[in-house]
Chain A
């Protein structure tokens, strides 16, 4: 499986002539199947780190390696293919496509791609897993927040990624719904062996993950590995 290694990764944003060091010298090594949480205050760089790990962005310095694959060596098309193969994304604002139904949203990563399975059946079964079988044809606006996030998770899973990256997946949800979503992620990690990285500022939630990475001012200040279920 694919281990993620970050080596001296920095990310500098340049805007209006001012340079902002969002990340500085991040060194990190994650094994496939890890359940990782990144916590820290606002502006600490956790979302930036997540987007780098998710290949949505490229580091200004340093190198991220997935298995033997150096991300910096990939062109944008290869990067897209890489994402398609390895990474599923879940956003805080769910980012469902408002004009598509739940089912269509789940199918959206598969659009214009050839897959060995039936796209629709796959999407339907995922929605069923999420307990949204009856919401297949609902538009995002017709769904509650929790439902929307479950659609988003289904969407992230449809192409069977090795890593699931979630940016504050429970941030926009009430505690109860948030808990459901978290448990869902936990189950996915345990049952599917799919690595999960969540960004959160909820320390309670973070406590329940295998690896907790704490960030501040663009740097990792601590990394704790707990063997909960060892």
Chain B
């Protein structure tokens, strides 16, 4: 063995150029392994967002009224901008009490008043020609995911004719020609002094002569409009940021009716007779005016009006009808618990049947100030200034990710659609121009607390944000102080006081179900607030690095394979000689494996050294498993790469030692009349080798092109579900570095292959040079060879990447095609780079060198070489280690506490339905026609004529009962009419949402039947599909089923239960 080692060592050491290549390969592989396997895996692919460091809320404690805690707080989670959803509940006395406490540094109350339409006249149309007109108003609301359209039509006349009354019977009204637009703002009252101290609101005001912060003079006035009707004028500050992205289009059409002065009356009477508005709707019109305005334009106009003080009083009157309200969340099981342990579903609010609003469902509770508009707030907003929320003294990095502060809309990204397919890239959701959207808006119109008190009455304050004296850092001491202060507040005022210091953003998933008129939007990710005394880390799990580690390893194996193969070609004759001297063929295999074991071990050792150095410096935790893995990888790469050459080497015939100098007996593929053609011929004769170099360049090229696509198109992050796991692949430095390493290995592979090609053609080059070829020609033929290899690799890589992009995203990267095509330059450069050194070698060939092998070994040069080599190698090694050592800290620090997070549980509902007529069978259920699937997924199973009792296990009281009475049937036109009595009785204070009229009957063939009729027999506390507290709903549901139907089941859905109650109908 000793002699064999000597033999191996000699063959390396006495063949220095090759040996350098081998060592470079070892170094690259070592770096790759230590970096990719050691470091990447150490982070377990987790990149920690440094947000936590910048994360500091402006307040330490939040005080809220009793009963304002959301269900989500059971898991210490708060909805982003939760403050905006609270309406009143704290009195001025309570506020004063808190304010006076010694430990309270700042107590900043916020009184959410309600939503007000902040609109402005943007244009005016003056219609001179008398006639009947149609005004079409359409609003396009960009919610981030799609355009939400809303349209309305209105008819008016222009002329002397006026209806006797309101004109409803004519279907027309009056139009003053003013075109207004604006968005709904959340109006909130704040204490100017406290707000200035807490967030520096005073400094955020854009001051000029007409815009200023609240002063002592800015006070509300109440005045009487009519006998009993009072209005309040309040000073307001308006935010200069518009978060709603909407556009309104006014389109005026003139209808074809005779409307001369003498005909007006006649025309209108005939319209009335023909059906008024319904008749008008059928008429064609000619568009005479069309204007569009955006919410941004509206706000700009408003701001300009304020700043330049040509604000007239005309539009300042506001009826505030709606109070702010929170979104009701229901915890559900996250579809991807590893990534989002917390998932909620919005429980849509169904409006009472007698609601004044035209919609039946909304994403949040609609809380009007009263039944009629007499109860609404009558406000006259007097703008005193404009403020810029960006100037507030809040930690604003990144601006939109601060769910606790009141001044910005919380970031929301649509990450998956209704089918749980990832959205690429995730779409940033925008608030819509109405108060009932699911995104909670920040208050953008501010008034004084005084004004809020005046309009809201007794308990105007919704919450108080408190800054406590002596709390600056997050530590045990602060925690203790805060706890004391919170307890004191709760004791003194009876309000809820929660510590918010130390809370952090927690990405949570919200399922936005479909409601009336809206499809199942999908899953929205928002940074929620995780309350807790310890800072948890805002982390994003990135995809395991395995895929690109595999790529690098594959390329490495190809490199070792090529390198070995070439070594084999070089030593083919040597091996044949050894065989003829009596060596056994398997000794040659052993020789190769011994060699690769040595090299692989060196790679492992160097990797360990690099890793050890990095760990030493950076205090990164690692596992023994990983360290072993590196060793194994190092050896495996070399062993795998040797496998094929080790087999091939056994096929060498000893007879080949008898052959004289091998002359390549390649075929002709091209007419060898130009240097390029000769080069191509050379390449084609060795096409198998070229294939290796092409493969090794193509693989990292494909990955690179793919990464570049992700970087450009998807802003660096790709989302996908792989094997049912949600993964986010963030393309970062690491990925490019990995591909850089792979590319370096590919270049090395190419270099070795072309090197060998040149070496084999040495006699030919010598002859060509003797015949007068210039160095430049020789160089260009070799560079050309490298370039062509690169180009082919590039095209292949591009194709693979393109397929991958289309397959993974279903997206056509047409927009990025140019960028991607340019990336083909990378593999081409790789090919060229690989060809440079061989081309230098070829140029150095002298005509006289002819057929000699040429091993020059003067003692002197050998010694020199030793020193130069040792020195250069050491420098390179140290340099790389230093480089890695300085790069790593950027990505270290995962800490990665893999503590199991208790996530949310529950089932998502696609669409919430309101009425039976719109009822459609659920898609999912259509697939199964067998009852067993219903029984399996059922929460309970019962018979008709029976009762189901839901009991609270803990205190043994009845929660509710479900009674299904005797089914009566009757015949009707060959069909059976079934009448099923259904009663739901609640015994506790819980609210139960149920819609008995949506319950379907299903027969054994899977056919579904909706109710054809239903009547309420008895009700108690039954409001808007809910049994509110203790109460009861008893209905008689009527179905029509074919005569022969038997074996029917009824699916009873009660919101909040984990499954349906399946009732066997006899």
Contact = CB atoms under 8 A, between A and B. Distances in A.
B3 A95 contact: no
Given A57-B653, A139-B14, A91 B658 contact: yes
16 contacts: A50-B658, A51-B654, A57-B654, A84-B581, A87-B582, A91-B658, A93-B660, A98-B853, A98-B855, A99-B7, A104-B10, A111-B583, A112-B583, A141-B857, A159-B581, A159-B582
A119 B582 CA distance: 15
B3 A112 contact: yes
B655 interface: yes
B100 interface: no
A139 B855 CA distance: 10
Interface in B637-661: 650, 653-655, 657-658, 660
Q: Which of A50, A91, A112 has the most CB of B within 10 A?
A: A112
A56 interface: yes
B51 to A, nearest CB: 60
B573 A95 contact: yes
A104 B585 contact: no
Nearest to A95: B577
B580 A56 contact: yes
A90 to B, nearest CB: 10
User: Which 9 residue pairs are nearest across A and B when measured between Cβ atoms?
Assistant: A84-B582, A57-B655, A99-B14, A56-B654, A109-B581, A80-B584, A83-B582, A56-B655, A99-B10
B4 interface: yes
B587 interface: yes
B578 interface: yes
B11 A108 contact: no
Interface string A14-34: 000000000000000000000
Interface string A79-120: 011011101110111010111100010011111110000010
A110 B577 CA distance: 13
B925 interface: no
Contacts of B6: 104
Give the interface SS of chain B, mostly helix, strand, loop or mixed: helix
Contact of B582 (A47, A50, A81, A92): A81
Nearest to B12: A99
B582 A80 contact: yes
A77 B14 contact: no
B653 A56 contact: yes
A68 interface: no
Interface in B571-622: 573-574, 577-587, 590
Contacts of B1: 112
Interface in A155-176: 155-156, 159, 167
Q: Which of B14, B585, B658 gathers most chain A CB within 10 Å?
A: B658
A70 to B, nearest CB: 18
Contacts of A141: 855-857
B2 to A, nearest CB: 9
Contacts of B653: 56-57
Interface residues of B, number: 35
Count chain B CB atoms within 10 A of each CB in A85, A95, A167 and give the residue with the most: A95
Given A139-B857, A141-B856, A156-B581, 17 more contacts: A56-B653, A56-B655, A56-B658, A57-B653, A57-B658, A83-B654, A84-B582, A98-B14, A99-B14, A99-B855, A104-B3, A104-B6, A108-B578, A112-B1, A112-B4, A113-B582, A141-B855
Nearest to A161: B582
A142 interface: yes
Contacts of A100: 7, 10
Interface string B1028-1065: 00000000000000000000000000000000000000
Nearest to B656: A56
A84 B855 CA distance: 29
Interface string B851-869: 0010111000000000000
Contacts of B657: 56, 89, 91, 95
Contacts of A155: 581
B853 A111 contact: no
A144 interface: no
A54 interface: yes
Contact of A104 (B7, B574, B584, B855): B7
Interface residues of A, number: 42
B315 interface: no
B856 A89 contact: no
Contacts of A48: 658
Contact of B583 (A51, A80, A92, A93): A80
A48 B1 CA distance: 34
A222 interface: no
A76 interface: yes
Contacts of A89: 577, 580-581, 657
Contacts of A55: 654
B66 interface: no
B15 interface: yes
B585 A76 contact: yes
A139 B853 CA distance: 14
Contacts of B655: 51, 56-57
A75 B7 CA distance: 26
Contacts of B654: 51, 55-57, 83
Interface string B539-551: 0000000000000
B585 A77 contact: yes
B584 A81 contact: yes
Contacts of B660: 92-93
A165 to B, nearest CB: 9
Interface in B671-690: none
A107 B583 CA distance: 12
Nearest to B6: A104
A158 to B, nearest CB: 9
B566 to A, nearest CB: 16
B577 A47 contact: no
A88 B590 CA distance: 23
Residue among A47, A77, A93, A98 facing the most chain B CB atoms (10 A cut-off): A98
A93 to B, nearest CB: 7
A8 to B, nearest CB: 20
A93 B7 CA distance: 21
A109 B583 contact: yes
With a 10 A CB-CB cut-off, give which of A92, A97, A155, A159 has the most chain B CB atoms.
A97
Contact of A80 (B11, B579, B853): B579
A98 B853 CA distance: 9
Interface in A2-22: none
Contacts of A111: 3-4, 7, 583, 587
A207 B328 CA distance: 113
A77 B584 contact: yes
B89 to A, nearest CB: 90
Interface string B1-29: 10110110011011100000000000000
Contacts of A98: 14, 853, 855
Contacts of A97: 574, 577-578
B654 to A, nearest CB: 4
A58 to B, nearest CB: 9
Contact of A167 (B15, B658, B856): B658
Of A48, A56, A91, A167, most buried by chain B (CB within 10 Å of CB) is A56
Contacts of B13: 99
Nearest to B1: A112
A218 to B, nearest CB: 16
Nearest to A111: B3
Contacts of A47: 658
A108 B581 contact: yes
B859 to A, nearest CB: 9
Nearest to A155: B581
A80 B4 contact: no
A139 B587 CA distance: 24
Contacts of A95: 573, 577, 657
Contacts of B853: 98
A100 B571 CA distance: 13
Given A104-B6, A111-B3, A77 B586 contact: yes
A83 B583 CA distance: 8
